[in-house]
Copies of this chain bind each other. A is one copy, B any other.
Amino acid sequence: MALQHDPRQNHLLAALPRDEYQCLAPHLEWVDLTLGDSLVESGKVMRHVYFPTDSIVSLLCVMEDGDSTEIAVVGAEGIVGISLFMGGETTPSRAVVQSAGSAYRLQGQLLKDEFDRASTLQHLLLRYTQALITQMAQTAVCNRHHSLDQQLCRWLLLSLDRLPTNELMMTQELIANMLGVRREGVTESAGKLQKAGLISYHRGRISILDRPGLEARVCECYAVVKKEYDRLLSYHRPG
């Protein structure tokens, strides 16, 4: 079924005018991403960029002692591998699959060529990058000022926005790695949310039961990021 796996499930690809899309389409390669796959390694030159369709990819900073922190998350609204068109080729952070699913990948050089033609694609990618910057900045703020409870809500909502369902396959251990906190801390915060009836989880499967409830508990960071994504990426789909 061609429709089951359609590159245009990715919003950036979907926003391209027909001719530009046709130009890339033959080179888009469907890939299956499984949990934990690493798409970009720190300092390594990447061959491809990835356009997620129904997967979620985390951008992580890993430190010398092995501790890590998620600095941003990418779903169907975005692209993994911005340093290719930004010109740096590599980046000190990693990109890891947080939620299994599909993506389309494209040879880096092909993307660069199209980007350098000052095309619609260029403008889309730059606006997307600006949105990503906002997410990173707000992550910095959130790490500084807000409680783990609030940050967990933020993280759940950001993930939820990038998923087709209300279910997340994710252990508390992994969430802790993403947030850069202790596993026990996540257990405690998640326990509160469960007691409040907002979520329910069981061995790596989290169901969101009451999204408005989460939104009531989350810090302002979520709204700031969401608003900026909506503002920057609310293009009309061309025919």
Contacts and interface: CB of A to CB of B under 8 A. Distances in A.
Question: Could you say how many copies of this chain the assembly holds?
Answer: 2
Contacts of A203: none
Contacts of A200: none
A130 B145 CA distance: 25
Contacts of A69: 140-141, 144-145
A137 B93 contact: yes
Majority secondary structure of chain A interface residues (helix, strand, loop or mixed): helix
Q: Which of A86, A91, A127 counts the most B-chain CB atoms under 10 A from its CB?
A: A86
B126 A87 contact: yes
Contacts of A130: 82-83, 86-88, 91
Interface of A: 59, 61, 63-64, 67, 69, 71-72, 82-83, 85-88, 91-93, 116-118, 123, 126-127, 129-134, 136-141, 143-145, 180-181, 220, 224, 227-228, 231-232
11 contacts: A61-B137, A63-B220, A71-B136, A71-B140, A86-B126, A86-B127, A86-B133, A87-B126, A88-B131, A91-B130, A92-B137
